[in-house]
Amino acid sequence: MAPLTTAVRPFACSSVSGKDSRRDRSDRGHGGNRGQNQSHGEPARANLREDLLDHLSTENRRPLCPAIVLIGDLHVIEPSIALLLSSSFPGGSSDYYRERRSGEQRSLYTRETERQTKSRFERIYMQSTSAAPQALPPQAVIVQMVMGGWVARAISDVSRLNIPDQLKKSGPMTAAELVAGGVDANPEALQRVMRACASVGVFTEAVDGSFGLTELSDVLTADSPLSVKVIAQEIGGLWLKLWTALADAIRTGEPQARQVVGMEWWDYLKANPKEMETFGEAMNSNSLNSMRGVLDNCDFSKVKKVADIGGGFGHLVVALLEKYPNLRGVLLDMPDLIPVAKHSFAVSDPNVSSRLEYMGADMFETVPRADAYVLKHIVHDWDDERCLRLLRNCHANMDGDGRLICVDSVLPPTGDIGGTAAKFLDLLMMLAIRGKERTRKQWEELYDAAGFRIINITPLQDNFGTSIVEGVKQ
């Protein structure tokens, strides 16, 4: 599962202040001559860009709001600024502006008209360089945070209407054109939702009322290699409902799925095959980065047989069999899911399918024999007692010294306020099931109790604090 939403807080952007800074701006044509230079088009535009780059590069930092905010660990840049800065790159307004933070790169892509860009940037620029700059007040930050659920639902529903897919296929369209093309919506209501989504960078919005694709909405399309379409629908749909019972979860310490959907979480999925299929697709889209992490960081060249425990449709085990031609694999999951996996992710390559087994079983009762076990986003679904039973099953059926590889979030230690996404994911586990995310110390205690010793923890640098926790028999 993935977090419902992430915290929003002001991004401290550098300030340009003092006599020298004012003189520098004047030398480039800003300050008292700003109006004159704006009439010259491109030179003024370049000067504005230089000023903002100065803001982003100087070490004197103060909040620049609402142009730039932090959502969890991710910088979100006001679209007009992103476009203005993007013209520094060869691709012009269709290129990316990349902001580096803690060794990682995040990007925001947008397209707008030059007129919109210049007008909006001038407004933000004046706001950020005023004589008495003001940080975003605490109440505004809190309101942004609590509106996160609204944003999640809006993105989820436009994705469910396949609007990003339609825009990718046909180019920019108005709400009326989308409805005329088959979208089941009221044109005026759809336009209002699209405008709201555009305000957070999901779509572009032109003066003629048309909306276009951005890098953010591209990953909401079905054919994107980085698609999060289905998981976005889950986060803003079924999972969002669970959060209505958070107060009861806090009060009782118990999962609230029965209160929200009428039965326990896994029982609900079993009773609703369509929900089970959607859940499986969502888990797959969420775990693509984790799968790449295992393929890139774990060596299976000496492994004879790998068991993918709770592997959903089997994407990971199939990828491993494709990479290692002498490896055999077995996919274990709930009996009800195995037929769905065979249908939804049929393996056509006989060189792979001949080395792949399917096993429908309760992993807490039995697991297949293998010399390597991979549990990708499984351990966080269960409490310590269940996890210990599962890991001991793997230990008892492991051939040779073997390896145990778990892929899940690793929470920062107490006192570290980082790991926003993983901590909210932990709350979702508390709401839906008896699961939780764990710190490194908790992982070490769990492995030790099951008869394993952790030899390596490899962070995958994703948005959820996911790591590969690799252990061997003690």
For residue 27, the one-letter residue type is: D
Kindly report the length of the chain: 474
Pick the closest to residue 232 from 413, 463, 474 (CA basis).
463
Do 408 and 1 meet the contact criterion of CB atoms below 8 Å apart? no
DSSP 418-429: --HHHHHHHHHH
Do 444 and 432 meet the contact criterion of CB atoms below 8 Å apart? no
Phi, psi angles (nearest 5°) of residue 103? 80, 0
3-class secondary-structure state, position 8: strand
Look-up of token digits 């360089």: 129
Q: Which of these is catalytic: 30, 75, 377, 380?
A: 380
Q: Which two tokens stand for residue 297?
A: 């960081």
Q: Which two tokens stand for residue 87?
A: 């013209």
CB atoms within 10 A of CB 32: 10
Annotation says 395 is catalytic:
no
Distance CA 363, CA 139 (A): 48
Do 352 and 382 meet the contact criterion of CB atoms below 8 Å apart? no
CA 423 centroid distance within chain: 14
Distance CA 313, CA 316 (A): 9
Look-up of token digits 């769990």: 446
Phi, psi angles (nearest 5°) of residue 358? -115, 140
Do 169 and 217 meet the contact criterion of CB atoms below 8 Å apart? no
Do 63 and 140 meet the contact criterion of CB atoms below 8 Å apart? no
CB atoms within 10 A of CB 28: 17
Which active-site residues does the annotation give? 380
